[in-house]
């Protein structure tokens, strides 16, 4: 079964959108197989955003994600990686479909409520970062 890593980011947690966002994935029929609230360390944040290390917004990204609690989820189901990215909507909330999570709730490219893995390789890499205690596939 395919699986993905989702983060409900600090803006989503602070605005009390956790329940509503999790419910969207559940109602679509996906299985939440692990979940935790965590205040990310700078090390975890840097590892998670490693591929963006040379981007101009990298420091802003690390500061933001370490500035509050995140809710990390492992979600399982058929084609869950692509499906969850569609449900989340595009990174820029102005371009995200109106019915998507970012289209409905996000404020900016930096504070965009959710993150999800973009490939099977990223999903396994990110699951290892956020859930080191979980068995690896």
DSSP H helices, 54-119, are 58-65, 80-88, 101-105
| CB of 100 or CB of 112, closer to ligand CMP | 112
Check binding of 32 to ligand CMP (CB under 6 A): no
Q: How far apart are CA 58 and CA 50, in angstroms?
A: 9
Q: How many CB atoms lie within 10 A of CB 59?
A: 10
Contact string (CB under 6 A) for ligand CMP, positions 62-91, x = contact: -----------------------------x
Catalytic site residue 52? no
| CB of 30 or CB of 84, closer to ligand CMP | 84
Q: In the complex, what is the shortest distance from the CB of residue 95 to ligand CMP, in angstroms, rounded to a whole number?
A: 11
Greatest distance between any 2 Cα atoms in the chain = 38
* Active-site amino acid positions: 115
């Amino acid at each position: 079964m395919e699986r993905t890593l989702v983060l409900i980011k600090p803006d989503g947690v602070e605005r009390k959108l956790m329940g509503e966002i999790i419910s969207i994935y559940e109602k679509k029929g996906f299985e939440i197989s692990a979940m935790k609230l965590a205040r990310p360390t700078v090390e975890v944040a840097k590892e998670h955003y490693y591929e963006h290390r040379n981007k101009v917004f990298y420091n802003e990204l690390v500061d933001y994600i370490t500035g509050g609690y995140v809710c990390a989820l492992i979600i399982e189901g058929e084609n869950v990686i692509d499906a969850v990215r569609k449900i989340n909507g595009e990174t820029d909330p102005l371009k995200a479909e109106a019915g998507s999570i970012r289209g409905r709730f996000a404020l900016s490219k930096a504070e965009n409520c959710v993150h999800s893995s973009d490939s099977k390789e990223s999903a396994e890499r990110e699951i290892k970062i956020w859930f080191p205690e979980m068995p690896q596939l």
